[in-house]
Structure 1
Amino acid sequence: MAFIDWVLHPTELWAAFWYFMRHAPPDEKTVKLQVSGDMKRCYDFLEMTSRSFAAVIQELNPKLRDGICLFYLILRGLDTIEDDMTIPGAKKRHLLEKFHEVIYQKGWTFKESGPDEKDALLLVEFDVVVNEFLRLPTEYQDVIADITRRMGAGMAKYTHTRVESLESYNEYCHYVAGLVGHGLSRLFAVSTLEDASVGENLELANSMGLFLQKTNITRDINEDVLDGRCFWPKAIWGKYATTEEELISKANREKGIEALNEMCTNALQHIPDVLAYLSQIKEPSVFRFCAIPQTMAIATIVLCYDNARVLDDNVKIRKGEAIKLISQSDNIDSVKRLFYGYLNTLEKKNHPDNPMYAQVSKIIDKTKKDIATTLKGGAPTDFTMEYLVLVLFLITLIAFFYSYLTRGF
């Protein structure tokens, strides 16, 4: 199946070839960072908890790299506590609400995670994160501690509050992801790599986080329901099913797909803000750090739209497609072209008999128009280049065999 994917998408094969030619393996990158001791262990944890994030963080400008690595690990520790269903409710809320204080306490660790928590080791050795956090400049510490405090309070609230309304859905996503956008934007500004306005216009930063979080929540519905939880707001799924289990059942498939499409539409509304945010980022490594997750998100949400497989399994974009997105997320024009292409794909999937048709069409039309008016050279063509690359490949192959067969004549 993987071979067929490469054949059907030759530009992905080409992108993968050049990506691996230009990028060192993660372990070599860590060596090149020239870190040691506790910070080396922190980068080890970064690799353990998220290899995809580790790659882009390690490519950041040195003025931001360690600070964002530690910011990520602190929030990962907070998230590990939130996800742990074995911690009693009252104790969990206390830990979440006080986590911004423990990051200042040398020697603090947590060894009571449940047996199924994959990132438990991070909390067991959390003292190394604390040690390095305390070495950061004070202005970096202040931003990280403030976001940790606000996120912990929000997580604590939703340990006993269900996501029912669209307002609570937006609020929950703000606490767990929008605040990450706030914190990163403030760190970009504090580092002086980006203009101070990036750390002040936090509405756009919030949308960056919400688009990522809502895409993940939409995609993960099957896994979450089977785990006994659901982050889809009842204001949406309650229109299509009486229980979360009914939502993903095959007997309710038509209504389940309608609910899925409404969730996708809710996420798609953040795309204009995402492109506006990326347009203000100037430093190349910061741009890639911000852009790569967003191009992955639009690829994922377009894949999920009107796709019944989402209700049965955890769907993911192809590895080749992911590598292509990573390799092409270098500048705003390239990212706009990627978004435009995925909007074209979405347009083809958005049939008139779909209840979300009008809303999705409005988002597509407005965003494509905005891209066309701001993109150098105007709107991209709908021609995907896959066919051109495939034709060139076949011509080369035919020429090779012709040369081989006629060599003896």
Structure 2
Amino acid sequence: MRPTLARAGGGRHRGALVAKARDAIREGSHSFAAASKLFDRTTRERAWLLYAWCRRCDDIADNQDKGGPLGDQGNVKGAEDRVQAIRILTRRAYDEQPTADPAFDGFGLVADECGLTMDMANDMIGGFALDATRWQPKTEADLLRYCYHVAGSVGVMMARVMGVPEDDGDTLDRACDLGLAFQMANVARDIVEDAEAGRCYLPATWLTEKGWEAGDHALPENRFVLASLMPRLIGLMEKHEAASKLGAARLRFRQRWAVLAAANIYGAIGRKVLSRGQRAWDRRVRVNRFEKLWHVTTAFLEALWNRPEPPSEPILWSRHDFRPVAGW
């Protein structure tokens, strides 16, 4: 029997993989879909391919469909098996072998085109592994490490998709910051939804300060006090959001515009949670079409001006600070 010929994309036609990825982003994230339109064609297609893989991994890990309601999370063994399947499929795609799944084949293609590594992929998959074990952060540093896995690592890969060289560590660090900011906006928005699935991403030290166990924080009678934690979380989000814009300033104009648009849209989600106070979780926070258009327009002006304000405190961190330490 002949061995399967190694070909990036598992031998699938590039156009077909791109079309599947475009459908995935349209269905899975209107915010990312809107921002991706600002890229040049090559970057846009590669961003779609990376997004489709991330979306598919997330759906497999959470037993859901296109970012919809979480599936049954009660079986830890089943969750761990799903994460292992993600690892195997990703490794196979990276090795340029067919996977029978266009999202994974697309990852193999974009990895080949942009120099993505298995370490980068495994950093993201590590976030799903944490969720599979029902892990919860104990400290703010744990929260940041989780955000690194599920989003900061994606920011690093996106920077490589946009052509940031591997040795430009500072720009990759700032791309990581953008992912961290995105995920903290998600954490703020989804606190109650996550609690219903038995998950909590607020640090245990924060909950202890309020006299809560994990789960108590999302109860309706505790929403007023829960809202008092949001300035802390959104302040952390905004620190990394501001840092990320320093890196965006080094990108080409259309890339910079797209990144700033995404940053503004996701930042708006976090700030809406903050402004709604205890009612932030009565209904899902969304950024409507007209608001997105506004954020895209302001991002255009920011990209033209290209003089971002740094965070209120000096940047003394790098993406390596958020990776796990031994025994974590």
Structure-1-length-normalised TM-score: 0.61
Equivalent pair of 2:92/2:98 in contact (CA under 8 Å): no
Check if 1:213 corresponds to 2:213: no
SS at match of 2:209: coil
Corresponding letter in the other structure for 2:260: A
Gaps of 5+ in 1: 1-34, 110-125, 341-362, 368-409
Which of residues 71, 75, 79 is equivalent to 1:89?
A: 79
- Identity over the aligned pairs, expressed in percent? 19
Deviations 1:242-270 (A, max 9, x none): 23443233433442221233222232222
Matched-pair contact (CA < 8 Å) for 1:207–1:270: yes
In the TM superposition, 1:36-55 aligns within 5 A as 36-55=15-34
Q: Is the 8 A contact 2:53 2:107 kept in 1?
A: no
Question: 1:118-150 deviations in whole A, cap 9, x for unaligned?
Answer: xxxxxxxx2x3455555558352x316442122
Contact 1:204 1:273 in 2 (8 A): yes
What is the CA-CA distance between 1:185 and the residue it aligns to?
1.4
1:258 correspondence with 2:228 = yes
In 2: Cα distance, 1:271 partner to 1:38 partner = 32
Matches for 1:229-268 after TM superposition, within 5 Å? 229-268=199-238
**Counterpart contact for 1:240–1:259, Cα < 8 Å:** no
Secondary structure at the counterpart of residue 312 of structure 1: coil
Aligned twin of 1:150:
123
Count of equivalent residues:
285
Separation in structure 2 between the aligned mates of residue 137 and residue 314 of structure 1, nearest angstrom: 34
Which of 158, 164, 172 is the matching residue for 1:202? 172
CA contact (8 A) 1:163 1:231 kept: yes
Larger relative contact order, structure 1 or 2 (CA cutoff 8 Å, min sep 6): 2
Please give the root-mean-square deviation of Cα atoms over the aligned residues, in Å.
3.1
1:64-143 matches, within 5 Å, as 64-84=43-63, 85=73, 88-103=78-93, 104=95, 106-109=97-100, 126=101, 128-135=102-109, 138-140=112-114, 142-143=115-116
Q: Secondary structure at the match of 1:228?
A: coil
Q: Distance in 2 between matches of 1:105 and 1:197?
A: 25
Partner of 1:290: 259
Give SS of 1:329's match.
helix
Displacement after TM superposition at 1:97 (Å):
3.5
Q: From the CA coordinates, give the structure whose radius of gyration is larger.
A: 1
Task: Please identify which structure carries the higher helix content.
Answer: 1
CA contact (8 A) 1:204 1:276 kept: yes
Question: Match of 1:56?
Answer: 35
Give deviations 1:311-337, integer Å, cap 9, x for gaps.
433223443222211233114367889
Q: Is the 8 A contact 2:61 2:79 kept in 1?
A: no
For structure 2, the 5+ residue unaligned runs are 1-13, 64-72, 314-328
Look up the equivalent residue of 1:108 and give its one-letter code: T
Verify: 1:162 aligned to 2:162, yes or no: no
